[in-house]
Amino acid sequence: VQVVESGGGLVQAGGSLRLSCLVSGLKNFDEYTIGWFRQAPGKEHEGVSCIEGVNGDEYYADFVKGRFIISKDNAKKVVYLQMTGLKPEDTAMYFCAPTGQYFKAQYCEPRNIIIPWGQGTRVTVSS
């Protein structure tokens, strides 16, 4: 299984970005929960948002609720993260990864991912 994250960049505070995660090699992709995670400089990975495969239930960390929206295109095997109202504290490397087949989105924690981290995509928000 491989993931390729893209869409990061440098934006001013208040700006928007849309991240994409292309997943390959994951049989029955639409049955898997896929999440976005991030790692800020000097910090551990943390869960940002996850989306369940079958029913589309979503989870958002408190620090992104109301600003980020996760979605997925099962046909294209892509998971998106629309980020609006970006803040300097959102600056981080963003990664995506599956957490499991029929896995609850609420368990959106780095320890639950089932593949190694990909290369990620860098998001930098200037004040």
Closest C-alpha to 48, from 10, 80, 7: 80
pLDDT for the residue 54 = 84
What digits encode the pLDDT tens for the residues 46-101? 999 999 998 999 999 999 999 999 999 999 999 999 999 999 999 999 999 999 99
User: CA 97 to CA 76: how far, in whole Å?
Assistant: 16
User: Residue 118 pLDDT more than 90?
Assistant: yes
Mean pLDDT on 29-55: 96
What digits encode the pLDDT tens for the residues 10-23? 999 999 999 999 99
User: Residue 112 pLDDT more than 90?
Assistant: yes
Residues in the chain: 127
Q: Are 4 and 118 in contact (CB under 8 A)?
A: yes
Burial of 74 (0-12, 13-18, 19+ CB in 10 A): middle
pLDDT for the residue 98 = 97
Q: Are 27 and 78 in contact (CB under 8 A)?
A: no
Mean pLDDT on 29-33: 95
Residues facing 99 on adjacent strands: none
pLDDT for the residue 115 = 96
Q: With cut-offs at 50, 70 and 90, classify the pLDDT of residue 117.
A: very high
Burial of 81 (0-12, 13-18, 19+ CB in 10 A): buried
pLDDT for the residue 11 = 98
Q: Are 21 and 34 in contact (CB under 8 A)?
A: yes
pLDDT for the residue 48 = 98
